[in-house]
Structure 1
Amino acid sequence: MAEQTQYVTLGVAEELFAAPVEKVQEILDMRDIARLPQSPEALMGMIDVRGQGVPVVDLRLTLGLPGATDTENTRIIVLALAGEGRDRRLGLRADRVFEVTTLDDGALDPAPSVSGQWSGRCIAGIGRGNGRFVTVLDLERLLGDFEAATSQSA
């Protein structure tokens, strides 16, 4: 039997998203974030992770959702993203993190094809878990702009 991909499932607003577990380095409780002047709205700032500065992006704002105040469930997911010959680290602020899991039947459906402005470019696929749709994020595409902008300052 083929090995199934594992995902970290996370919640933003009422929606369920997933990130491939191999891209997740660690999951942190919310902490103070050093703001960066004149940065894009979704780029919250920088945190220190074992002596290394890691930029943090608000997933709500990146997905076009309204911002929200932190709760005891708010987490920062530290990701290792592939890019231009080396991996880069980036923090992703999510409302909550649920679990590490496989998706039902292991297969992803492609993002729906819809005409107009929306391309679904940041979606790696749609899966199902526990009877709910789970949107698997294409993290490199979703966060590529922030990765490029912050790699110059790192």
Structure 2
Amino acid sequence: MSMTALTIRLGDEQFAVEAESVREILDVVPITHVPNAPDFVSGLINVRGRVVPLADMRVMFDMDRPEPDEDTRIVVMEVDMEGEPTIVGILADKVHDVTTIEAASIEEAPRVGMRWRPDFVRGIGKRDGGFIIIPDMGRIFENAGGRSAPAAASEERPAL
């Protein structure tokens, strides 16, 4: 089965996230940094009055983290975490396009020879003679602390 994907750039690499999970694409907005949050979670952003955790996948893939520039975007998407849909934002160095990646061109991530953790990669797609990494967003967010960090920061706490 083919995959309709939003292609983004992180560093020098092309990534593809399922287009159906993307809610919107934003210019960089003010980020509220959360003390003691994991490096993966850059902070919290306000998306139409809703508190949304902002993640930097470059941390999980051990990539350089340049300062945002005019091409940097925030991709707001819904990720399934432990069976629960969760709204998150991810930083992208550049957003390219929505494309179809044919199932026949998607292969399982090799266990060796990759700089990324293979358990964070659903597959590797081929497009225009190059490779597109298809990350396992649910696993990345669950592994990064799951509800304990990003989601818990946005939950209301009962008054004591």
TM-score for both structures, normalised by structure 2: 0.86
* Mean Cα deviation higher: 118-127 or 24-33: 118-127
- Asked whether the equivalents of residues 104 and 129 of structure 1 are also in contact (C-alpha less than 8 Å), the reply is no
5+ residue gaps, structure 2, are 155-160
Partner of 2:33: 35
Counterpart of 2:57 in structure 1 is 59
Q: Are the counterparts in 1 of residues 75 and 89 from structure 2 also a CA contact under 8 Å?
A: yes
Q: Which has the higher helix share?
A: 2
Which residue of structure 2 lines up, in the alignment, with residue 151 of structure 1? 151
Q: Taking every aligned residue pair, what percent have the same amino acid on both sides?
A: 32
User: Which amino acid in structure 2 is aligned with residue 90 of structure 1?
Assistant: V
* Runs of 5+ consecutive residues of structure 1 not aligned to the other structure: none
- Give the structure 2 partner of residue 21 of structure 1: 19
Q: For residues 72 and 13 of structure 2, what CA distance do their matches in structure 1 show?
A: 14
Maintained 8 Å contact 1:6/1:103: yes
| Structure 2 CA distance for aligned equivalents of residues 21 and 38 of structure 1 | 32
Q: Which residue of 2 aligns with 1:133?
A: 131
What is the aligned partner in structure 1 of residue 82 from structure 2? 84
AA aligned opposite 1:46: L
- Decide whether the 8 Å contact of 2:5 with 2:16 is kept in 1: yes
Taking a change above 3 Å as real, the CA distance of residues 76 and 118 of structure 1, as seen in their structure-2 partners, is closer
Residues 122 and 141 of structure 1 are in contact (CA less than 8 Å); yes or no, is this contact kept in structure 2? yes
CA shift at 1:123, angstroms? 0.5
Task: Indicate if the aligned counterparts of 2:73 and 2:91 stay in contact, CA closer than 8 A.
Answer: yes
- Worse-superposed segment, 39-48 or 6-15: 39-48
Could you tell me which residue of structure 1 aligns to residue 121 of structure 2? 123
The offset of 1:86, in angstroms, is 2.6
**CA displacement at 1:27 relative to structure 2:** 0.8
RMSD: 2.0
